[in-house]
Amino acid sequence: MSAQVLDGKRIRDEILSELKPRIAKLRRPPGLAVVLVGHDPGSEVYVRNKIKACGDLGIYSEKIAPPETITTGELLGIVDGLNQRPEIDGILVQMPLPKQVDSRKVLVSVQPDKDVDGFHPVNVGNLVAGIPGPRACTPSGIMEMLKRYQIGVAGKNAVVVGRSDIVGKPMALLLLHANATVTICHSKTADLAAECRRADILVAAIGRANLLGRDHIRPGAVVIDVGMNRMADGKLLGDVDQDAERDLASAFTPVPGGVGPLTIAMLMSNTVQAAERHLCSASA
């Protein structure tokens, strides 16, 4: 039986079309501010896609592009200004920031209720405790994909390869809340292949092209590849060898077109949710 390809674009379109009536109900459009420092080519593409998605949905978006030479203090001033503006529901500071800027300080300066990336320690704490709030976009998009493809998570062995604050850790927590038995692997894991082969659901989020191959995939596993590795020839490769997952997995996400489209869809969802909360508390 051939492996099912999990189509991120299809799920993205479903999520976005469900947001439209919610946006139409609000008495003003949701507002998203994107702060892009400098000219990192990858970041510029991401930001362009985020702003296009806002335009398509009727979300007000604002791009703030300070110079590469900005100081931490100046950037904190920009974020503080956005925190004060009631028509801005979400603030997104595009990573990476230049070396002279204290990234952690900047991320923590975003008000938790405007943190549509789900990175603020308050929102991470809410995730750990199972309290509602914005969740990291890529992991929450993956959970939506599993749900909409009716891939059961409860009671399954899930292995997450990668322990970043953006994907690995929140992914493990969301799977745990969905009653999976979760293992987190990383660069110091003793026998990575053996750990991965125990997985019913394998999530690869390490950022190294084709690191996981046939030895890492248990036949019939569901493989979610978060990797987006741009090769010298311009080709995009995931963290998992696509031939191996095609041959062994029961279902897998392609790169590109798998997890990538979901990230922006969940950013839009978090922004709409923030606007709903802000407008509800304003009228209360």
Half-sphere exposure of 90 (CA within 13 A, CB side): 33
Catalytic annotation, pick one of 94, 113, 115, 241 = 94
Nearest CA among 46, 84, 85, 44 for reference residue 68: 44
What DSSP designation does 92 have? Answer: E
Is 94 a known active-site residue?
Answer: yes
Q: Locate tokens 């320690």: which residue?
A: 121
Is 20 a known active-site residue?
Answer: no
Q: Are 64 and 38 in contact (CB under 8 A)?
A: no
d(CA 272, CA 133): 12
Catalytic annotation, pick one of 50, 114, 156, 169 = 50
Nearest CA among 151, 160, 158, 280 for reference residue 226: 160
Catalytic annotation, pick one of 117, 200, 239, 241 = 117
Could you list the beta-strand ranges (E) of the chain: 4-5, 31-35, 60-64, 90-93, 157-161, 181-185, 201-204, 222-225, 229-230, 236-237, 251-252
Q: Give every CB contact of residue 232 below 8 A, 6+ residues apart in sequence.
A: none
Cα-based angle 132, 135, 136 (whole degrees, multiple of 5): 170
Phi, psi at 228, each rounded to 5°: -135, 85
Chain centre distance of CA 254: 16
Pairing relationship of beta strands 201-204 and 222-225 according to DSSP bridges:
parallel
Q: What share of the chain is helix, strand, coil (3-state, %, to 5)?
A: 45, 15, 40
Give the active site residues. Answer: 50, 94, 117
